[in-house]
Amino acid sequence: MGELKYKVIKTREQYYEYCNELERLDDSGESEGKYQDEAELLMVLIEHYDAAHTIFKGEFDPVELLKSLMKDHKMKAKDIAELLNVSKGYVSEILNYKKGMSKDVIRKLATRFAMRQEAFNRPYRLEGERMMEEEQEEAVLQ
């Protein structure tokens, strides 16, 4: 049996290498073609490493998770806008809890950061909902 192309991820360097390769396969469209099995294997290896080395996934709401990932990957709102193929204003509204994440946005973020979609597809309150709840609480107290 020959040398394996991919192995269980053991270092952060290897993790980023695999993330970059998965992103390359996805960007080129190869992840859905003849390299689909390779992309799926990379996703499994990356998710396994994430599960063992990432403690913040369950602690942050999807917006905080995105902000943390942006910081870790040295990305700005404009980089996320380009990735998602949306306006910078739309990304700003997401980051400021004014708009929710669409299924397409969730899918693209999960693919880019090699995470399960569930990490971004969890309930969180938008700014308008927070204000309405505060107003309702004040009305009850009066």
User: Residue 101 sits in a domain of what CATH number?
Assistant: 1.10.260.40
Is there a single domain that holds both residue 25 and residue 70? no
Is there a single domain that holds both residue 92 and residue 116? yes
* Residue among 105, 136, 133 nearest 119 (CA): 105
Q: d(Cα 26, Cα 76) in Å, to the nearest integer?
A: 21
What are 23-40's pLDDT values in tens digits? Answer: 888 777 766 777 888 888
65 within some domain: yes
111 within some domain: yes
Is there a single domain that holds both residue 81 and residue 31? no
What are 75-104's pLDDT values in tens digits? Answer: 999 999 999 999 999 999 999 999 999 999
Is there a single domain that holds both residue 73 and residue 14? no
- Helix and strand numbers (H, E) in the chain are 7, 0
Longest dimension (CA), the chain: 76
141 within some domain: no
Per-residue confidence (pLDDT) for residue 90, from 0 to 100? 95
Is there a single domain that holds both residue 77 and residue 34? no
Decide if pLDDT at 139 tops 80. Answer: no
Is there a single domain that holds both residue 29 and residue 46? yes
Per-residue confidence (pLDDT) for residue 57, from 0 to 100? 47
Is there a single domain that holds both residue 66 and residue 131? yes
Q: What's the mean pLDDT when you consider all of the chain?
A: 83
Decide if pLDDT at 135 tops 80. Answer: no
Is there a single domain that holds both residue 88 and residue 34? no
Q: d(Cα 127, Cα 96) in Å, to the nearest integer?
A: 8
Is there a single domain that holds both residue 72 and residue 119? yes
Per-residue confidence (pLDDT) for residue 39, from 0 to 100? 86
Considering its fold, how many domains does the chain have in total?
A: 2
Per-residue confidence (pLDDT) for residue 132, from 0 to 100? 59
Domain that holds residue 124: 61-136
Is there a single domain that holds both residue 104 and residue 127? yes
If one compares 53 and 62, the residue with the highest pLDDT of the two is: 62
Is there a single domain that holds both residue 78 and residue 132? yes
47 within some domain: yes
User: Could you identify the residue written with the tokens 């309150």?
Assistant: 125
